[in-house]
A and B are shown apart, each in its own frame.
Chain A
Amino acid sequence: MMTEADVAARVQEHFGARVLEAYSFRGQHAVTIAPKDLREVLIFLRDVLKFEWLADLAGVDYLGFDDREWRFEVVYAMLSMENNVRFRVKVAVTDDSVSVPSVWDLWAIANWEEREVWDMYGVRFDNHPNLRRILCHDEFVGHALRKDYPINRRQKLSAPSESILCVRSELA
């Protein structure tokens, strides 16, 4: 039976110093890595440790939170149904000049989730097939969930969004 601690140990053993940070909170383990190592780590988790499912993908803005060296993190929540164990991989993104490799070809769901992170935090994903806003409208300027986005700034949309009209063709 593999536990989260075992997974963290295996990842650290395999990637050594490329794991920037490893910690656990209430039995939930996570590792932080650099964007360039992301695909390698996720493929290792998927193929070797049997994390076949990307359960969630989310962004975090740590502006003014503490003295960490990077501003953003992208969190990949993994689930292994075979071993019944979960694990989190965090990618440290210094600022919005740094982009993260897309994993949409490994898990198709990453397509829309990466668009959401782009929309809300402005974190760019390399090799994404369609990196457009997914929640905010097309005329929206800035990224709404960034800590420096003014909480009362509203942006009006002048005409029905093209993206609403083309949803069907995109799904087809």
Chain B
Amino acid sequence: MGLESHVSQPFLATRLDEVINWGRKYSLWPMPFGTACCAIEFMGVVSSRFDVSRFGAELVRFSPRQADLLLVMGTITQKQAPVLKQIYDQMPDPKWVLSMGACASSGGFYDNYTTVQGIDEIIPVDVYVAGCPPRPENVIGAVVKIMEKIDREKAANWR
């Protein structure tokens, strides 16, 4: 193109979406919302044996304001539902939600007066993970799914 003759340093041409999504997907900041045994399994996910840090999502934040990946791990009761909604609302855009395990995804076997039948009644969900509880590989697989989804997004669509 002849552009090289005008700049002294080497450079790389890309699309804005590409570079922003590349940055976002390799540095997800998870916020764990652990309410049941899935949260125990999550300890395996972040620890050395399975090690989600291989995918850049290991820096767990306990404030929703510092996170962009909400991990809902466990049974959500009706009493807790507004709290989960409030935490989701407090997370800055862009944000993604991972629903881990049968309870968070569908209520699990708690088909009764007390349990929300899937967190998608309250907040939008990006990836559902099956299992009771899911294996750590499964959760890491879901994180990778979210990374793939980020890749396909229009970065400018987020506020």
Say yes or no: is B90 at the interface (Cβ < 8 Å to chain A).
no
Main secondary structure of the interface of B (DSSP, over half): loop
Q: Are A164 and B113 in contact (CB under 8 A)?
A: no
Q: Are B79 and A154 in contact (CB under 8 A)?
A: no
Q: Are A164 and B78 in contact (CB under 8 A)?
A: no
Say yes or no: is A168 at the interface (Cβ < 8 Å to chain B).
no
Tally B residues with Cβ within 8 Å of A: 11
Taken together as a complex, chains A and B put the C-alpha atoms of A155 and B117 apart, in Å, by 12
The one of B82, B83, B86, B112 that contacts A151, using a Cβ cutoff of 8 Å: B112
Q: Are B114 and A144 in contact (CB under 8 A)?
A: yes
Taken together as a complex, chains A and B put the C-alpha atoms of A26 and B113 apart, in Å, by 34
The one of A149, A152, A161 that contacts B79, using a Cβ cutoff of 8 Å: A161
Taken together as a complex, chains A and B put the C-alpha atoms of A4 and B91 apart, in Å, by 58
Residues 66-88 of B at the A interface (beta carbon under 8 Å): 78-79, 81-83, 86
Number of contacts between A and B (CB, 8 Å)? 36
Q: Are B78 and A149 in contact (CB under 8 A)?
A: no
Tally A residues with Cβ within 8 Å of B: 18
Closest B residue to A152 using CB positions:
B111
Say yes or no: is A159 at the interface (Cβ < 8 Å to chain B).
yes
Q: Are B81 and A156 in contact (CB under 8 A)?
A: yes
B76 shortest CB reach to chain A, Å:
11
Closest B residue to A151 using CB positions:
B112
The one of A151, A152, A154 that contacts B78, using a Cβ cutoff of 8 Å: A154
B115 shortest CB reach to chain A, Å:
8
Closest A residue to B122 using CB positions:
A156
A49 shortest CB reach to chain B, Å:
38
Q: Are B113 and A157 in contact (CB under 8 A)?
A: no
